[in-house]
């Protein structure tokens, strides 16, 4: 069978018409970021931000047009917007809500009020700690603004498709991983808005053959806007963890994150303080550069748990950059121990919630 090419994809899409505009999607210049690799096809459809979910049927039509091409093993189509969406309430959708994903026992979101606080580094090290404790773990990189999990886990290449047109997660250091970074070219500037993010995330969650997982760790996009709220609403999250640095400003952002999850009834397991303090490698002096302890105080004030602190340490950055995070590269070190303590606390919370549910009668949820 001949390999499907980008040209084949574009030819097929010329037959898909945007009813509203009366022209085909290629002619309208709506298709971008086409990636074709070994029969796996991914691309984005650019729509007006305000069009939102109204374009879901168009997305489906594009997906079906490509699925029927010979040689295509999987198709991932996402809606994306380049224009700002006017301020409005988060979308509501006549969906069945948060359906559980079969085989996945629990899903934990790792979130932060803003970027650069070490959310992805923390998410990966927590996932690896849970795997070290004998759990089956997956990481879903939902940080569509800057998907960094493949780099942190030292994973290159693209996922293969399964026989039933789902994607196989990639794997390294004993954890499975799926990332937007596998599907969309890294240099594609894209502004994702709430309703559009949803299709990407749901595909990564449901169209991926995760197998049996005890925990799926979701690395959320930083911030507390519409995109994050939609994700928190649509994914059946068992709970969320907020990563913060000790600075006050980051903490006020963390507070927003906490409120966001509470708004959508997702339990917040607690706050992790990252870059909490600095142990001078020369003299051993402990310097609290950012005024250590803020997260503990905030957690207390907001009625959530303080899950632990991670120091600012060059080894944490270097090992991450090398694709061998500190929990796997120095598993007996003090930093790995700090991540293990935090992940144990999270695991205990998960067990508490999932055990409760397995013993309780089935709940009837009315949206």
Residues at the site binding ligand ADP, with contacts judged by CB under 6 A:
112, 115-121, 148, 222, 274-275, 310, 312-313, 316-317, 320
Q: Among residues 76 and 112, whose Cβ is nearest to ligand ADP? A: 112
Q: Among residues 37 and 256, whose Cβ is nearest to ligand ADP? A: 256
Q: Among residues 194 and 308, whose Cβ is nearest to ligand ADP? A: 308
CA distance 167 to 208: 5
Question: Which residue, 29, 48, 46, 37, is CA-closest to 75?
Answer: 37
Q: Is 176 helix (H, G, I), strand (E, B) or coil?
A: strand
Q: Among residues 198 and 274, whose Cβ is nearest to ligand ADP? A: 274
CA distance 242 to 342: 12
Closest residue (Cβ) to ligand ADP?
A: 118
Q: Supply the minimum distance, in Å, between the C-beta of residue 128 and ligand ADP.
A: 14
Token output for 186: 């890294």
Interacting residues of 207 by C-beta distance below 8 A, sequence separation 6+: 74, 76, 165, 166, 167
The total number of residues written for the chain in this structure? 367
Q: Supply the minimum distance, in Å, between the C-beta of residue 316 and ligand ADP.
A: 4
Question: H helices within 53-186, ranges in order?
Answer: 56-67, 119-132, 149-152, 180-183
Q: Supply the minimum distance, in Å, between the C-beta of residue 250 and ligand ADP.
A: 10
Q: Is 42 helix (H, G, I), strand (E, B) or coil?
A: strand
- Which strands sit side by side in the sheet containing 215-219, from one edge to the other? 170-172, 175-179, 137-141, 215-219, 107-112, 239-244, 268-274, 306-310
Q: Among residues 51 and 109, whose Cβ is nearest to ligand ADP? A: 109
Q: Supply the minimum distance, in Å, between the C-beta of residue 150 and ligand ADP.
A: 13
Q: Supply the minimum distance, in Å, between the C-beta of residue 176 and ligand ADP.
A: 20
Alpha-carbon distances of 29 from 21, 34, 186, rounded to whole Å: 12, 12, 20
Token output for 174: 């004993």
Q: Among residues 79 and 316, whose Cβ is nearest to ligand ADP? A: 316
Q: Among residues 25 and 241, whose Cβ is nearest to ligand ADP? A: 241
Q: Supply the minimum distance, in Å, between the C-beta of residue 360 and ligand ADP.
A: 35
Q: Among residues 120 and 343, whose Cβ is nearest to ligand ADP? A: 120
CA distance 173 to 196: 32
- What is the helix (H) or strand (E) element at residue 74, kind and residue range? strand 74-80
CA distance 49 to 226: 12
CA distance 288 to 93: 46
Q: Among residues 117 and 232, whose Cβ is nearest to ligand ADP? A: 117
Q: Supply the minimum distance, in Å, between the C-beta of residue 320 and ligand ADP.
A: 4
């Amino acid at each position: 069978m001949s390999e499907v090419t980008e040209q084949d994809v574009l030819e097929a899409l010329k037959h898909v018409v945007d009813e509203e505009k009366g022209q085909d999607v290629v002619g309208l210049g709506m298709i971008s970021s086409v990636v074709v690799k070994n029969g796996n096809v991914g691309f984005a459809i650019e729509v007006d931000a305000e069009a939102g979910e109204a374009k879901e049927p168009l997305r489906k039509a594009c997906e079906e047009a490509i699925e029927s091409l010979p040689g295509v093993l999987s198709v991932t189509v996402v809606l994306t917007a380049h224009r700002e969406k006017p301020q409005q309430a988060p979308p509501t959708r006549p969906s069945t809500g948060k359906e559980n994903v079969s085989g996945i026992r629990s899903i934990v979101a790792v979130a932060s009020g803003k970027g650069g606080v070490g959310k992805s580094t923390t998410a990966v090290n927590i996932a690896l700690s849970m795997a070290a404790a004998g759990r089956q773990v997956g990481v879903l990189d939902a940080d569509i603004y800057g998907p960094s999990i493949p780099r942190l886990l030292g994973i290159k290449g693209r996922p293969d498709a399964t026989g039933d047109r789902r994607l196989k997660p990639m794997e390294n250091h004993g954890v499975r991983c799926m990332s937007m970074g596998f599907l969309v070219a890294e240099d594609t500037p894209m502004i994702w808005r709430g309703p559009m993010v949803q299709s990407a995330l749901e595909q990564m969650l449901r169209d991926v053959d995760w197998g049996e997982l005890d925990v799926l760790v979701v690395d959320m996009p930083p911030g507390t806007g519409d995109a994050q709220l939609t994700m928190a609403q649509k994914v059946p999250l068992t709970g969320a963890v907020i990563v913060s640095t000790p600075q006050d400003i980051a903490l006020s952002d963390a507070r927003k994150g906490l409120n966001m999850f509470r708004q959508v009834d997702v339990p917040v397991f607690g706050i992790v303080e990252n870059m909490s303090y600095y142990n001078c490698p020369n003299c051993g002096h402990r310097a609290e550069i950012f005024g250590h302890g803020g997260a503990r105080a905030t957690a207390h004030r907001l009625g959530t748990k303080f899950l632990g602190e991670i120091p600012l340490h060059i080894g944490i950055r270097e090992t991450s950059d090398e694709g061998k995070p500190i929990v796997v590269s120095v598993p007996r070190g003090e930093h790995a121990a700090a991540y293990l303590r935090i992940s144990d606390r999270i695991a205990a919370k998960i067990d508490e919630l999932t055990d409760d549910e397995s013993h309780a009668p089935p709940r009837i949820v009315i949206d």
